[in-house]
Amino acid sequence: MASAYLTASSSTALGVPHPTLRCAMAGGLLSLEACLERCIPPEDLAEVKRILYGGEARKLNLPAAALSAAQERDFELQGYGFEAAPEQLRRPRIVRVGLVQNKIPLPTDTPVAVQVAALHRRIEEIVEVAALCGVNIICFQEAWTMPFAFCTREKLPWTEFAESAEDGPTTKFCQELAKKYNMVVVSPILERDEIHGGTLWNAAVVISNSGAVLGKSRKNHIPRIGDFNESTYYMEGNRGHPVFQTQFGTIAVNICYGRHHPLNWLMFSMNGAEIIFNPSATIGSLSESLWPIEARNAAIANHCFTCAINRVGTEYYKNAFTSGDGREAHHELGYFYGSSYVAAPDGSRTPGLSRVQDGLLVVEMDLNLCRQVSDKWNFKMTGRYEMYAEKLTEAVQPHFVPNIIQDYLPFGSYKRSW
């Protein structure tokens, strides 16, 4: 196992994993959409895309300099656009959003500061390309400055990756990027909250294109599943559902496991979010068939854009750990399958980024589409939120009586099959 750890780690160094290894680890399919494109005959492909994805996403023409830089730096670069109808009183509100997915470039036993520096460098070279593509708002993956090490249940060195949201080195780094490129930066990190007992949070820092820290959003729902032992590191967020009215649009951040909770998306939307980012870290065996469903359902249900981001690759740890599933102790959490995508309020979506490679997804959207779809489908108008506020208030009472209508069958005739 130790040799597998070393081999695999070194093979992912510098973001250039061995192609065969990475295919095997990813389950063999580099991208679902690429497979459909290759296999479905042209006469059916448009119809398959309409049913599966709400139609063919418009490809953006990205600058040649950006495309060649992405290729040199070994990351995928894709661009898509969503349109809205012209209106009389509002001009189009076009914004370009960037989603970044990446592997960790260095083995997890490299010194903490060296790992952070390498991630900063990697993100810097991706953001530079995003700027060439005219990106206005960029979001990185969950806990982007570190390996997703909570599977180990070890505290050191992993808690050393935590930083102040307001003035930690990563926030300062992002402020520089924001100013340099006139870009709003959403930076999900492990937060050390010194003024509240030094507690840890899973947070996202939102930085204005002016370079100012606008605020932060904390992960509202913490998983208790498999090796996602995060609840031993930090608690459920205590900042509610803030939205950030930036120069380019009103945005919110629903971190990772919060995508499973429809009420979480709803409250961000109630507060006015038009774009909700969902920076995540999730693995294939656990969630891959849920991945295309949940963020997209949230875009539909809340008449907004959602941006689902997942990291890529397998991260190896020196000390083996068990998983509460009877398996032998092992050195990795599982395969992070990338596949980052954007869903639009009309239910359409972009193809996903690759399952195996670092990537930047550039998506142009006209935010006017949110209100247009809302006025068409009317889910907010027909939502009956007063009723649900009451029902939910009842449902959380200790003596809640569920509305159950029980079948009456004559004595002796009620055959339970269980």
The catalytic residues are 142, 219, 256
> Which residues in the 218-237 window bind a copy of itself by CB under 8 A?
220-225, 236
> Does residue 411 interact with a copy of itself by CB under 8 A?
no
> Does residue 196 interact with a copy of itself by CB under 8 A?
no
Nearer of residues 55 and 157 to a copy of itself, judged by Cβ: 55
Q: Are strands 76-82 and 58-59 parallel, antiparallel or unpaired?
A: antiparallel
Site string for a copy of itself, 74-113 (x = CB under 8 A): ----------------xxxxxx------------------
- Provide CB contacts within 8 A for 226, sequence distance 6+: 286, 323, 324, 325
Quote the CA–CA distance of 281 and 333 in Å, as a whole number.
11
> Which residues in the 345-404 window bind a copy of itself by CB under 8 A?
347-348, 367-368, 376-379, 381-386, 388-389, 391-393, 395-396, 402-404
- Provide CB contacts within 8 A for 398, sequence distance 6+: none
Residue 290 CB, shortest distance to a copy of itself, in Å, is 4
Question: Interface with a copy of itself by CB under 8 A: which range of 194-202, 266-274, 275-283, 315-323?
Answer: 266-274
Peptide bond into 157 cis (omega under 30): yes
> Does residue 32 interact with a copy of itself by CB under 8 A?
yes
Quote the CA–CA distance of 344 and 61 in Å, as a whole number.
20
Of 44, 197, 327, 411, which lies in the binding site for a copy of itself, with binding defined by CB under 8 A?
44
> Which residues in the 52-71 window bind a copy of itself by CB under 8 A?
52-55
Residue 7 CB, shortest distance to a copy of itself, in Å, is 25
DSSP 277: E
Of 267, 283, 360, 363, which lies in the binding site for a copy of itself, with binding defined by CB under 8 A?
267
Beta-carbon count within 10 A of 21 CB? 14
Beta-carbon count within 10 A of 47 CB? 10
DSSP 151: G
Nearer of residues 106 and 370 to a copy of itself, judged by Cβ: 370
Quote the CA–CA distance of 277 and 405 in Å, as a whole number.
41
Question: Which of 285, 232, 239, 284 minimizes the C-alpha distance to 258?
Answer: 239
> Which residues in the 317-346 window bind a copy of itself by CB under 8 A?
none
Of 242, 321, 371, 374, which lies in the binding site for a copy of itself, with binding defined by CB under 8 A?
242
Structural contact between residues 80 and 360, judged by C-beta atoms closer than 8 angstroms: no
Nearer of residues 118 and 312 to a copy of itself, judged by Cβ: 312
Of 156, 195, 412, 418, which lies in the binding site for a copy of itself, with binding defined by CB under 8 A?
418
Question: Which of 192, 183, 12, 224 minimizes the C-alpha distance to 95?
Answer: 183
Of 270, 320, 321, 323, which lies in the binding site for a copy of itself, with binding defined by CB under 8 A?
270
